[in-house]
Homo-oligomer: A and B are copies of this chain.
Amino acid sequence: MQEGRVHLKEKQFISIIKNLLKSEYIGDDCAYVKDLGIVVSQDSLVEGVHFLLECITPFQLGYKSVMVNLSDIASSGAEPKYLTVSLSLPDNVDADFIKEFYSGMKYACGNGIKIIGGDITGADKIFISVCAIGKTQGRNISSRKNAQIGQKVIVSGVHGSSSAGLKLLKEKKTEPQCLIKSHLEPKAQIEFGKNIGINVSGKYSMMDSSDGLMETLSTIAYESGVLLNIDFDKIPYDKEIERFENWHDLVLFGGEDYQIIATVPLEYQGGIEIGKVEKGSGVDLSISGQIIHYSKSDVDKKIFNHFKV
């Protein structure tokens, strides 16, 4: 729902919090707690902001709440292991909803990940907050600050499908199903993250594209102090989205695909290469025979204006 989730105000608040806490942990999607050998991430889904009950089943909502958080852990390079779930529910939520919701969560967890706790309280609307814990043993943990000049930029899969699916849902359309499914049932790229976390040595950056591909690239470039040179033609997307007038924007700025973006050494096998890490700042995008330069603030402005709710 909340395509404009990268609100400037939220960024301002995060900056205030960073200044106040002076915490070395805050910055990445996951906090890396070395002394305990874990990474920790917490994300919330709010009714009316991130989802509408008429567009998503309780099973899908449970499933997505888990996947969104597993995606953060996967993109740290760690092994997702445990979740706690905080649910705030209006009075009209019944036992059937709870059964379906937790069945969706359980399905998303598969065999390797366990829900170990949380709480349930009342509220006017549904609030879901999931905390995910990953194990770092045997893994090389990523940071958005760690892109190295000379590395290649790789992605785990298609971009634009989720926001195309959201557009269809908003227009009350039911086809193409594959796009709608991308929005309602995203899949955290756990194996992709695992391969990198185990096999890449040395510094590298990795993030999921929850806030959109460009936002992710721009963040890595800014935090690492590098330029990312990206070729639009190499970015994978589902041909079905070409039916949308602004499909380039869906690929570049649409959120919630939960793919992984990483900068890794050239010799790393795996992923789809979309560009290179170079000296400079921001993102250079080769598209339709042109090179468009995006600074951090260009991307922030574009997202704010384009997806303003």
Which residues of A does B touch, CB under 8 Å? 2, 5, 7, 10, 12-14, 16-17, 20-21, 23, 25-26, 28, 30-31, 33, 36-38, 40-44, 46, 48-50, 81-82, 84-86, 88-89, 95, 98-99, 102-103, 106, 114-125, 127, 129, 131, 133, 135, 309
* CB-defined A-B contacts under 8 Å, sample of 11: A16-B98, A31-B84, A38-B38, A44-B88, A46-B122, A48-B124, A49-B122, A88-B127, A124-B125, A127-B129, A131-B131
Contact A106–B20 (Cβ < 8 Å): yes
A131 is contacted by which of B12, B40, B106 (Cβ under 8 Å)? B40
Contact A44–B115 (Cβ < 8 Å): no
Chain B hits for A122, CB < 8 A: 2, 7, 10, 46, 49, 309
Complex Cα distance A264/B1, Å? Answer: 51
Contact A46–B120 (Cβ < 8 Å): no
A86 is contacted by which of B38, B43, B135 (Cβ under 8 Å)? B43
Contact B46–A121 (Cβ < 8 Å): yes
Chain B hits for A106, CB < 8 A: 20-21
Contact B46–A123 (Cβ < 8 Å): yes
Contact B95–A12 (Cβ < 8 Å): yes
Complex Cα distance A142/B122, Å? Answer: 28
Contact A38–B41 (Cβ < 8 Å): no
Chain B hits for A98, CB < 8 A: 13, 16-17
A120 is contacted by which of B10, B33, B123 (Cβ under 8 Å)? B10
**Minimal beta-carbon separation of A135 from chain B (angstroms):** 7
**Minimal beta-carbon separation of A131 from chain B (angstroms):** 4
Contact A129–B42 (Cβ < 8 Å): yes
Contact A115–B36 (Cβ < 8 Å): no
**Minimal beta-carbon separation of A95 from chain B (angstroms):** 6
Complex Cα distance A135/B48, Å? Answer: 37
